[in-house]
Amino acid sequence: MIKILQEQALNYKLNPVLQHFCKSEIQELCKKYMDADEHGQVEECLKAAFLRKQLINRECQLEVATLIAEAKADIHVDPILEMACTVDLLRYCGNVASGNARKLDCLRRLLRESPKSLEPDCRDKLQKRIEMFRNADDTLALPLEDMGQLVQQVVASPARKFFLVILMSATGLVFLTGIFLGRATKRAMGLKNK
């Protein structure tokens, strides 16, 4: 799974959802990186635009926020940050086990305790990532403003068939309950009138 996420981070064309929802943003904001994107520049451009709040399309915002949130899993999912912090990872976090964001937490702790000990490029990218993590968490945690947004989220969801089955089952249950209770109340009314 980590390998797939790394490859998607390095080449946005491997992520069809990102391509679909952020098509106009990629063409407008990240045009100069589109032709030869093999080093994750388009995704970096979208993340930077997300940080600057330049992404207008709500679906694109959510997709980029999801990408950023996935990068919190561990540093290996974010190859750009991993490349920038390779020296610091080997020097300070070499004995830390991979997974569960342990290496990323090691770098964060170093950034808090002694920011000068980190390489300048690593320090800058890590600070941006931490800010992106905060913004992504805020974006993903936003409550729905109206029923239209709820419908859009359900329609865009990969589990939309499940939601449709639940909705239809609930509607059918209400209908059947109405039929049986309607007959029972009609029968009770008939007995009362006698």
Q: Kindly report the CA angle at 85 between 81 and 87, in degrees rounded to 5?
A: 155
Q: What integer pLDDT is reported at residue 194 of this predicted model?
A: 59
Q: Are 49 and 40 in contact (CB under 8 A)?
A: no
pTM reported for the whole predicted model: 0.65
Percentages (nearest 5) of helix, strand, coil residues in the chain: 75, 0, 25
- Give residue-wise pLDDT tens across range 19-37: 899 999 988 988 887 665 5
Three-class SS state of 15 = coil
- Give residue-wise pLDDT tens across range 96-123: 888 888 999 999 999 999 888 999 999 9
